[in-house]
Amino acid sequence: MDTNRSRMHPAQLFDLTMGAVLVLVGVGGFIASTAFATGEPQGSDLIIFEVNGWHNLVHIASGLLLLAGVRSFGAARTVALLFAGAYGLVTIIGWIDGNDVLGLFPVDTADNVLHTVLTLAALAVGLMPAPDGELRHKLMRGDGREGMRTAASPVSPTSPATLAREDRFHRERGATERGSTPTEGSR
């Protein structure tokens, strides 16, 4: 993991920050409510948010998931997009039902607004472009240790410029060996 925060990608910063916050909120939520009721769960207020035992466990689990993604851009992006998908679903269900999500944890308007913001933020950082050189398409990798050049290069034996130069050389050499010199029209 790159511990230099100035070199971290926004997806990594999001995962680190929100992961820590969610774990703390989940643990702190048990002070407000330890109830694990189902059906039409009643929650207790943690500041302005409604929580219960299930809700607290979801916060801890999603926080740990985000923290697991901090080690690299690829992991951070994947985790942020998974988080956005899960919280997006929770957001939609929360706004439709208005009282709880799947009969497990209570939600109110403050929860729904927060879930909407978290979903959009996770989606935004998850879709940000990769830092230069961080990710390369698998087909562009040579032996897996070093990426191949993607731009035409005079040292690349298969670049269009090299192939055209070799083709021209072979045509000119063939004409010279037959006893004639290449003309302007044959070049």
pLDDT digits (tens, 9 = 90+) for 10-63: 999 999 999 999 999 999 988 887 778 665 666 666 767 778 888 889 999 999
Neighbours of 139 (CB within 10 A): 6
Does 101 share its domain with 12?
Answer: yes
Give the domain extent around 168. Answer: 139-186
pLDDT at 134 exceeding the cut of 60: no
Does 152 share its domain with 131?
Answer: no
- pLDDT for res 140: 47
Does 106 share its domain with 168?
Answer: no
- Tell me the pLDDT tens digit for each residue of 90-110: 999 999 988 888 888 888 888
Does 129 share its domain with 61?
Answer: yes
Strand bridging mode 100-101 / 49-51: unpaired
Contact between 77 and 64 under an 8 Å Cβ cutoff? The reply is no
Residue 93 identity (one-letter amino acid)? I
Does 83 share its domain with 158?
Answer: no
Number of domains within the chain: 2
The three-state (H, E, C) secondary structure of 124-187, written as one string: HHHCCCCCCCCCCCHHHECCCCCECCCCCCCCCCCCHHHHHHHHHHHHHHHHHHCCCCCCHHHC
Q: Cα(64)–Cα(23) distance, rounded to whole angstroms?
A: 7
Does 107 share its domain with 148?
Answer: no
- Three-state secondary-structure class, residue 66: helix
- pLDDT for res 100: 82
Any idea which residue has 């219960």 for tokens? 52
Count Cβ atoms within 10 A of the Cβ of residue 86 and give its class: 0-12 exposed, 13-18 middle, 19 or more buried: middle
Q: Cα(105)–Cα(7) distance, rounded to whole angstroms?
A: 38
Does 31 share its domain with 116?
Answer: yes
Does 99 share its domain with 42?
Answer: yes
Strand partners, 101: 105
Does 71 share its domain with 161?
Answer: no
Does 114 share its domain with 168?
Answer: no
- Average pLDDT of the chain is 79
Does 26 share its domain with 112?
Answer: yes
Does 149 share its domain with 78?
Answer: no
Task: Read off the pTM.
Answer: 0.64
